[in-house]
Every structure is written in structure tokens, then in C-alpha cells.
Homo-oligomer: A and B are copies of this chain.
Amino acid sequence: METAEATAAERPGLRERKKQRTHDALLRAALELFTTQGYEATTVDEIAEAVDVSQRTFFRYFAGKEEAALAIIDLTHEHFVAALRARPAHEAPLEALRNAVLEGWDAMGEAVAQIVPVDLYLRSYGMIESTPALLAAHLRRADEVAREIEAIVAEREGLDVRADPRPRVAVAVFAGVMRVTERLWAMGGDLSMEAMRELTAAHLDALRPSLAEKWRSG
């Protein structure tokens, strides 16, 4: 056991490498099929067959179709959380959140590219947005991430989440804006990282004006 893990840290054994390969192959095959013929129209058997494994094996790697479809996005979520943790302590909450997103994207892109082609990753957002079951699962995961972020923000400010509503509200506001951005980006024409960054910045800039009493003068 210990030997196996120690070895894995340097160079994973054949077994581990094989597992990784199967996992990534299933992931790529799934996304490829989903984005081309549609999520609902793709059966698990098809995915398994494309990788030449049994259906049962697919379910040993992924809890279900949904998880396969959203796995890479989970990856980016993890990267965002890490990026937020790395923000300097002097930044205000919303400032830290904003910087974590805008500056963390390139690293995300690189991490993604090591598993699936970037354009496949980008196209998957369109698929998610236009597939009700998938969008639902995605929103739930985003909600979970929000809870994680609440804790981080609270810790940054030395607050108790259960006593002070501000960490939760701040994260909810941020998550809301990010959701709008995501939706517009995924449904819009330009599925590029630059477009996403610009849209994000624009919507975050619109935050305070949106809360103003009088919109006419703004």
C-alpha cells in the first residue's frame, strides 16, 4: 500500500496509468458524443463502446452521465477555489473574488488542456446551457462551490458565517453575477476565454450601478 502510493508519486505503475487513460478516454469520448449528437441522444453504451469497455466500467469511473459531462467544469471550480485561497489578505472580499476569477483563467485553461482539447471544453458550456437536466446538475454544483467560498471569505475576514450575514450575501451576489455572465457567454456567439473575461469584468463593474436607487441618471 504505502509502497504503491510512494511509487505513484514519482512514476505511477502500469495499473495506475491504465486507469488514468481509461478515465480520460471515457471523458473525452463522452464530451465528444455529447457535443456532437446531444446529451440526451447519447447512451452510456455508446460511450463505453467508443472506448471499448463495458457499460459497467463506465459507471465505475463516473457516478452517471451527468458526472462525465460536468467533470472538467468541476476541475475549473477547484482551480478557482485555489486561486481565491491564494489572494493576498489585504484585498476586500469582492476584490479578491474578482481577481481570483479574472487572473485564474489562464491557469484553468492550461489544466483543462491536459485532459481534453480546450475547444471541447468551451463547447461543453453550450451543451450544458441547452440541456435542462445538465443545467440543473451544474447549478447545484455551483451552489455547493458557493458554500465552500463562503467559508473562505469568512475566514479571510475573521468572521463566523453563522453570526454575520455578509460573507454569505457577498458570495451570493458574486455567484449571481457569475451565473448571468456564464449564461450570456455560453449562449452568445463568441465561445472564447477572452470573451468570457470581458463579459465578467463588464458585469462585475455593473454591480454597484445596478443597486442604485435611480437608474435614469446612471
Contact = CB atoms under 8 A, between A and B. Distances in A.
A139 B132 contact: no
B206 A165 contact: yes
B166 A209 contact: yes
A151 B91 CA distance: 35
Contacts of A207: 169, 173, 211
A210 B92 contact: no
A30 to B, nearest CB: 19
Determine chain A's interface SS by DSSP, over half rule. helix
Interface stretch (A2-10, A39-47, A50-58, A174-182): A174-182
Interface in A193-218: 202-203, 206-216, 218
**Interface size bracket, A side:** 35 or more
A140 interface: yes
Nearest to A93: B215
A116 interface: no
A170 B93 contact: no
A136 interface: yes
A172 interface: yes
A78 interface: no
B203 A165 contact: yes
A87 interface: no
A169 to B, nearest CB: 4
B135 A210 contact: no
Nearest to A215: B157
A175 B173 CA distance: 8
